[in-house]
Structure 1
Amino acid sequence: MRTSSNPAFRNLPSSGGYASFQHGGQAAGYDPYPSAPPTAERPITVDDVVLKTTAALGTVILAGVLTAMSGPAMYALALPAALVGIGIAIFMCFRPKPSAALTLIYSAAQGVVLGALTGLFESIPQLQGIGVQAIIGTAAVFIGMLIVYKTGAIRVTPRLTKMVVAGVIGAGVLMLANLLVGFFVPGGLGLRSGWMGIGIGLLFIVIAAFTLLLEFDQADEMVRAGYPAKWAWFTAFGLVASLVWLYVEILRLLALLREE
């Protein structure tokens, strides 16, 4: 399976009952995808991926709506929820195993963070209604990238994968640098404000959108390789992580556009 933008996918099992699996006419002896672990369990299907991803996203939305409706008193939960989410993400990256419990807890934690963030934005008079716009924007990008993937308008190649992964790493380095400088200089490097913030936001939205292509491809290859059905939870985790990032970037971009 191709290396995904989600670091967790890069550590998937690479040996097992499907060691001879080839894709796209690759030459014998070159297997760029991990083999499905040997198992007697029912193999994963597209329906499994859809149902598990729907459950995870439903958890994000429910937790987000409840947090946003609860008011500022509940926004304090955003910090511990963010730490829980980061902890689970790191754990899943270094120990890539399917887990319904961890995926749903991660989704709930991310929902709390998004709900608090959206609630804070909505509390500013000129930003009211921004949450609905961000949801619509995120859904539109998701559907658009799914259509692009299914029609083959953009093929997920090793070169594209490397470019997207490099973009994700670069985005992480930029944001970390901006955060660290922000401790000493107000506004940090200025990457998240003004016209530079708008440009960076658009770039990050494009990168996040392309990570969805990699996640779709990853799910397809799991189905082709015959992974056990429980791995649909792992796919759901990756898709939720990409969509959460996409939503946050769209929310921030809309806020900056309204301020200009």
Structure 2
Amino acid sequence: MRSSNPVFSRRGFSRDNGFAGFNAPQAGGPAAQQGNPYATGNPYAQPTNPYATATDPQVQGAPPAAPPQAGRMTIDDVVMRTGITLGTVVVGAAAAWIMALPLGLAIGCGLIAMVLGLVQAFKRKPSPPLILAYAAFEGLFLGALSGAINAQFAGAPMQAVLGTMAVFVGVLVAYKTRLIRVNQRFYRYVMGAAIGFVLLMAVNLLFAAFGGGDGLGFRSGGLGILFGIIGVVLGACFLALDFKQVEDGIAYGAPREESWLAAFGLTMTLVWIYLELLRLISILRGD
């Protein structure tokens, strides 16, 4: 996941070949050019921006900003596509909950969703049917898992949903008021923490699969609570990175189809946060 989500890993919207607009005013300084793996190949970088026109203020060196132009991504596009994608997840979850989908089938749906997500992440262009199929299978997995946890800890899924909404709103407010400043340092710290987190969870899963029990104990008891909190904090940081990607995509003239990728990335991050909160609430209520 080169940004907060693999969906953005091969895209950047910086005008002067920095990563994802980290040269924009919010970043607080010029982007490093040496050793930056994202410093080349930017399809929206000047002077080779295929979406720019001779009168485009970006071509003349003015700050990005500009009024929406036909065929370019707008915030309305992102909101609408995100609503459609999240709506598909909710419909799938509701169907799995009502039908009491067995956990075995739910895990299968989760694996299918993961494969579809990886396929979309490595595609050069977004595929709305693929993204919506991912959302549908992810919804089936979440619905069945939530139903099973609700049977043991009544109300836990609703608490996780409310918590996810609170994290989203909190990060959005913090980002818009510049309490959170997304720059290259922020990105490096977040991705370093995320890689360490994922590796630890993978090791814990392997020990649990072959040794039984809770593996190394990273997902239960006191350590489970600690790592649950870390997972939620990482999800919040990923949201900030997502918001930056969306902001830069709009500012630097990404094509409208990129709004599907923005919706896909935001959905993946929100699913992450929901699952971490659901696990954390289950641990807290089980103690």
Matched to 2:30, the amino acid is Q
Quote the RMSD (CA, aligned, Å): 2.4
1:67 aligns with 2:71: no
Structure 1 portions without partners, runs of 5+ = none
- List, as ranges, runs of 4+ consecutive aligned residues in structure 1 with deviation greater than 4 Å: 18-22, 27-33
CA distance in 2, matches of 1:164, 1:58: 28
8 Å CA contact 1:35–1:225 kept in 2: the answer is no
* Cα 1:72/1:8, change in 2 over 3 Å: closer
Aligned-partner residue type, residue 173 of structure 2:
I
**Map of 1:45 onto structure 2:** 74
Task: State whether residues 8 and 93 of structure 1, in contact with CA within 8 Å, keep that contact through their aligned partners in structure 2.
Answer: yes
Conservation of the 8 A alpha-carbon contact between 1:52 and 1:232: yes
Look up the match of 1:4.
Answer: 3
Give the 3 Å change call, closer, same or farther, for CA 189–235 of structure 1 in structure 2: same
Distance 2:124 2:235 in 1: 21
Query: Of 173, 188, 201, which residue of structure 1 is paired with 2:228?
Result: 201
Cα offset, 1:89, TM superposition: 2.1
Please state whether the residue corresponding to 1:241 is helix, strand or coil.
Answer: helix
Q: Which residue of the partner structure matches residue 245 of structure 1?
A: 272
Match of 1:129 in 2: 155
| Distance of aligned partners of 1:8 and 1:249 in 2 relative to their CA distance in 1, 3 Å threshold | same
Kindly state the Cα deviation for residue 151 of structure 1 after the two structures are TM-superposed.
0.7
1:153 deviates by 0.6
| Number of equivalenced pairs | 253
How has the CA–CA distance of structure 1 residues 196 and 42 changed in structure 2, closer, same or farther, with 3 Å as cutoff? same
Q: Normalized against structure 1, the TM-score is what?
A: 0.89
**CA-CA distance at 1:27 after TM superposition:** 7.4
Relative to total residues, which structure has the larger helix share, 1 or 2? 1
Q: Aligned partners of 1:68 and 1:154: how far apart in 2? A: 37
Change in 2 beyond 3 A, CA 1:96/1:192: farther
Q: What is aligned with 2:191? A: 165
Q: How does 1:19-98 map to 2 (within 5 A)?
A: 23-24=24-25, 26=30, 32=39, 34-36=42-44, 38-39=50-51, 42-73=71-102, 75-98=103-126
Q: Are 2:160 and 2:278, in contact at CA under 8 Å, matched by a contact in 1? A: yes
| Residue segments in structure 2 that go unaligned for 5+ positions in a row | 53-69
Farther-moved stretch of structure 1 (30-39 vs 95-104): 30-39
Aligned position for 1:100: 128
Aligned CA distance change for structure 1 residues 152 and 92 (closer, same or farther; 3 Å): same
1:106-255 equivalences in 2 (<5 Å): 106-124=134-152, 127-185=153-211, 186-255=213-282
Q: 1:235 to 1:259 in 2, by over 3 A?
A: same
Q: Deviations over 1:132-161 (max 9, x none)?
A: 111100000001101011111110010011
